Each structure stands twice: as C-alpha cells, then as structure tokens.
Copies of this chain bind each other. A is one copy, B any other.
Amino acid sequence: MAEAATARRRSRGGGGAARRAERTAVKIETARYIERNIPNFEVLNEEALQVIETNAETVLEEVGVNFVDNPAALERWRNAGADVQGERVRIPRGLARELIKTAPSQFTQHARNPEKSVVIGGRNLVLAPVYGPPFVRDANGGRRYATMEDFRKFVKLGYMSKWLHHSGGTVCEPTDVPVNKRHLDMLHAHMTLSDKPFMGSVTDPSRARDSVEMCEILFGKDFVQENTVMTSLININSPMTFDDVMMGALEVYAEANQACIISPFIVGGAMAPVSVAGTLTQVLAEVLAGIAYSQIVRPGAPVIFGAFVTSIDMNSGAPTFGTPEASLITYGAGQLARRLNLPYRSAGSFCGSKLPDAQAAYETANSLNMGLLSGVNFMLHACGWLEGGLVADFEKFVMDADQLGTLHGLARGVAYDENAQAMDAIREVGPGGHYLGCAHTQANFKEAFWKTQVLDYKPFETWEEEGARDTRTLASLRVEHLLNTYQQPELDPEIAAALAAYVAEKKASVPDAFM
C-alpha cells in the first residue's frame, strides 16, 4: 500500500483549497434509474409457469373476486363479459388476459425536473423510499408517532440521496395532521422540497382528485392531461377482494391517465396459501383482475404488476421478511409479469427487526438483492423500512439508501472492452508485483468500485480511537449532516404560491377529521 500512501500525500500538496471548496459546495447528484445489463434470475420452468397461469384463470373463472360497495364496477364488469353475482365477479377464462393487452409495457413518469423523470418498465429499475409507517424512529428520539416534520425530513433525505430516483408517497404517516388533510401537506412537501417524481393519495377518491389538481398546478393542466406525473399504490385486499376506496382512487387515476401499481398485499399462510406456487397463483389472479379493471376504466392507462408478498412466522403469526419463501415468490412473480409484458413492482428494504441492527440488515439485503435480480421495475420501500413497516427509521433510511448504490454497481454487469480486459496491466505488473501504482489502475480506479457514504473501512485502531462506532451511530451522523446541508430545489414562485394557496383553501373548506 506504500504507493497509495505516497500518492495521497502528494495529492495533498497542490490544489487542496480547490478541493476543499468543491467538498463544501452542496452537490445534489441523482443517479439515473438503473438500466440492467445483467439477466433476470428465474426460478420457474416453462411447465411451472403454465401450471400457475392455467390455475390463475381457473381461480378467476370458478372462484372469482369481490368488488365491494362498488355498483359501478360491477356494472362495468358485467358489460365487459364477466359473470357477476352479488359482489362476486367471475371472469371467464382468457377475458382478463385479453383486457390487459391495452396496458403499456412501459411508461415515463415525469418529474418537475426533467432530468429526474423515470421510465418504468423494460429492463429498468426505479427506486423509491418506504411507504406508510405510522411511527418513526431515530437513535436519539426512539420510536414515536410520525409527524409532518418527520415527513419533511424524509423527503429532504430522499432528495439528497444519490441512489433514490423517486421521492415516494407516504414516507411516513404525519399523524399530527388531520387524516382528511394530510395528503395535501404530503403532496406539497414532495412538490416543493424535492424535484424527483412522487406518488399520489389513494385513501379516498376525492384525495386522488386533489392530487391530480395539485399536479395540474405544478406541471400545467395540458401537460398532466397528456403525460403521467404520478404513480400511486393501489393495494388489493387479498384474498381476491377489491374495496371501494382503493378502486375509487384507481378509477380517478386511470381516467386521468396517471399510473397505478396494482398490488396484492399478502402475508403468505394468512392471505394466501402457505405454498409458493399457490401464492403465485393467487397473486396472478388478483393482478389480472385488477389490471383488467383498470383497462376497462380507461384502455391504455399505465399500470404496474405489483406483488407485496412476505411469509409468516407460524408460531407467533408475525409477518417475516427477507425469507427464502418471499424471495422465491418475488422471482416467480417477476417471470409472470414479464410474460404479460407489464412493468413489475416488488421487493424493498423489508425487515421485521425493531432496530436498524444486524437482523434488519440481513433481511433487507436479502430483499434488495432479490429485488434487483427478479427484474423489479419499480421498487417501493427501497430504504427506511423497519419493524414490518410500522416504523420509518431515519438511520436505516440512509443506511439502506447507501446499499442501493450496490444495486447500481451490480446492474452495470461486466464490461470486456480492451480497457476492461486490462492485459497491459497484467503484462506490466507480472508475477509477484502489485497493481496499485500501475497505469491501468491509475486511469480507472475512480470509477472502478462502488463507494459507501456510511460504512466504515478504517483500520481497527483508528476506528477504536474514534469511539468504536457501529453502523447506526455513523448513519445518525450522516442524517444530521444531510439535513444540515439540505438546500431546497428552486421552484417558479408563481407555482409555489399557487400550490400554497390551493392547500390553504382546501384545508379551510372542510373541518378536521382524525378518523
């Protein structure tokens, strides 16, 4: 390592001031969404795929799905050729598959900063943060109900993360804001504190409409009519139940040509069979029904084949994460989505741990890796998830976001051009030599390896002198640093004022509700 040390010392001689200035200027770098240059990992053979596909059609035809409290949906299904009895919709073999043919195989979700627009589908992977936790946790404050101030901090951290392409949606539930108004504050935060793409509200059809209207202010009405500017999360109440709230939001978004993830929410063994093949069958049946419905509402509406699937601890009934069964289902569902030519959503920084400790990291790394290799196109919950999704954790947010860099590195695959072959380096160094100082290393080392912003590689003695800090402690410092150096992205003052006015007016128009 002597040469490296010498090189470091030499480089400290000149240009130090310039480099220090460069370091203090706040640079917000966002990596382009991942375009995979590696294959997908596939666990199902052709026979297994056909068995599952056949069985899913059987489920739709014989068992059917329920559309609850939604007479208009039942009428639409009847007109489309389904057998509707009460709220049960039985879909003849092949009908759903025929209906979904109008769904696009990929679509662009526009960000207000055009450089940060994302293409969802194909071989791409777009990463978005955790969604939905009512609690937050950090090393100093412990576990507590999330507030709007927490929400804003997470949006800032997401904006500053190089590896997150998307600002997400409900990064935590701001429980200090009335439930019928918090969507306004959340959208306002995504629109003004970040310039990355974001998600709309789904907790009521009227809130979905508010989301569209706020986007019309931000992007312009004409732009929103012609382009997709939101991707929102429509959960299916597995098994095979589509409730009126989620379907109401789906209807609003599909009619406005805005994208929806249509996603079974499954704890295997509770909401689906205890077997991988059985769960995949149900997932496929549910997604076929949901996406077919979206295309009945508006043919061509952009949608994503979603699969939130995890396993269960049969002793306690608790959901478990990062398990092999969840991985097999995620790999298999990716194959099913690709055969339907649909974008695929799954995986995330899933874990059951209460703390951002080793358990959390094992489970999360298992999930993130299988997410990349299973061909996921949109990964919600890609960072910050803790305790089965009950908690958004500040330290884990930056720890996971750092790990997302490894997915970018893996997805690059292996270059084998002349420079990558490095034959000159091998000839130059020869047996017994070393490569630190050779020309090829000097020319390539800056871009060769993924670099962490959180993890510790220092020698033991240095690490001990600095307080023997664990990952969480280091991450806590990074959270503090990021929030301290955050700078709001610019926004046209007229648009900013119009957004603020919209939010104020909407809030004043109805009384607070907390249920």
Give chain B nearest CB distance to A87 CB in angstroms: 9
Interface residues of A in 329-357 (CB under 8 A from B): 332, 352-357
Q: Are A430 and B239 in contact (CB under 8 A)?
A: yes
Q: Are B239 and A414 in contact (CB under 8 A)?
A: no
Please give me the residue from chain B that is nearest to A367 by CB atom: B365
Q: Is A203 an interface residue (CB 8 A)?
A: no
Spell out A's residues near B (CB within 8 Å): 1, 4-5, 8, 38-39, 41-44, 47-48, 51-52, 55, 58-59, 62-66, 88, 143, 237, 239-241, 268-282, 311-318, 320, 322-325, 327-328, 332, 352-366, 369-370, 373, 387, 390, 396, 399, 403, 406-410, 412-416, 419-423, 425-427, 429-436, 440-441, 444-446, 448-452, 454-460, 463-464, 468, 470-472
Query: Could you say how many copies of this chain the assembly holds?
Result: 2
Q: Are A471 and B358 in contact (CB under 8 A)?
A: yes
Chain B residues with CB under 8 A of A446: 314
Chain B residues with CB under 8 A of A413: 43, 328
Q: Are A59 and B410 in contact (CB under 8 A)?
A: no
Q: Are A276 and B366 in contact (CB under 8 A)?
A: no
Q: Are B414 and A44 in contact (CB under 8 A)?
A: yes
Please give me the residue from chain B that is nearest to A388 by CB atom: B457
Q: Are A273 and B325 in contact (CB under 8 A)?
A: no
- 13 A-B residue pairings within 8 Å (CB atoms): A1-B317, A8-B315, A51-B416, A239-B429, A268-B448, A323-B406, A323-B450, A324-B408, A352-B456, A362-B365, A362-B455, A365-B366, A369-B370
Most B CB within 10 A of own CB, among A317, A318, A352, A444:
A317
Q: Are A423 and B318 in contact (CB under 8 A)?
A: no
Give chain B nearest CB distance to A282 CB in angstroms: 6
* Neighbour of A432 across the interface among B66, B332, B407, CB < 8 A: B66
Please give me the residue from chain B that is nearest to A373 by CB atom: B41
Chain B residues with CB under 8 A of A353: 455-456, 471
Chain B residues with CB under 8 A of A270: 1, 434-436
Please give me the residue from chain B that is nearest to A443 by CB atom: B274
Give chain B nearest CB distance to A104 CB in angstroms: 28
Chain B residues with CB under 8 A of A317: 1, 4-5, 436
Chain B residues with CB under 8 A of A314: 4, 445-446, 448-449
Give chain B nearest CB distance to A59 CB in angstroms: 6
Q: Are A430 and B278 in contact (CB under 8 A)?
A: no
* Given the contacts A332-B414, A455-B353, A470-B358, A55 and B409 also touching, CB distance less than 8 Å: no
* Neighbour of A48 across the interface among B47, B416, B432, B468, CB < 8 A: B416
* Neighbour of A275 across the interface among B279, B419, B452, CB < 8 A: B419
Q: Are B274 and A422 in contact (CB under 8 A)?
A: yes
Give chain B nearest CB distance to A269 CB in angstroms: 6
* Neighbour of A271 across the interface among B434, B451, B456, CB < 8 A: B434
Give chain B nearest CB distance to A90 CB in angstroms: 11
Q: Are B354 and A316 in contact (CB under 8 A)?
A: no
Q: Complex formed: what's the CA distance from A373 to B39 in Å?
A: 13
Please give me the residue from chain B that is nearest to A370 by CB atom: B369
Q: Are B426 and A63 in contact (CB under 8 A)?
A: yes
Q: Complex formed: what's the CA distance from A281 to B364 in Å?
A: 33
Q: Complex formed: what's the CA distance from A1 to B366 in Å?
A: 27
Please give me the residue from chain B that is nearest to A273 by CB atom: B422
Q: Are A436 and B269 in contact (CB under 8 A)?
A: yes
Q: Complex formed: what's the CA distance from A325 to B482 in Å?
A: 27
Give chain B nearest CB distance to A130 CB in angstroms: 16
Q: Are B358 and A275 in contact (CB under 8 A)?
A: no
Q: Are B414 and A48 in contact (CB under 8 A)?
A: yes
Q: Are A450 and B325 in contact (CB under 8 A)?
A: yes
Q: Are A406 and B322 in contact (CB under 8 A)?
A: yes
Q: Complex formed: what's the CA distance from A426 to B281 in Å?
A: 9
Q: Complex formed: what's the CA distance from A280 to B279 in Å?
A: 40
* Given the contacts A324-B406, A354-B460, A278 and B440 also touching, CB distance less than 8 Å: yes
Q: Are B463 and A354 in contact (CB under 8 A)?
A: yes
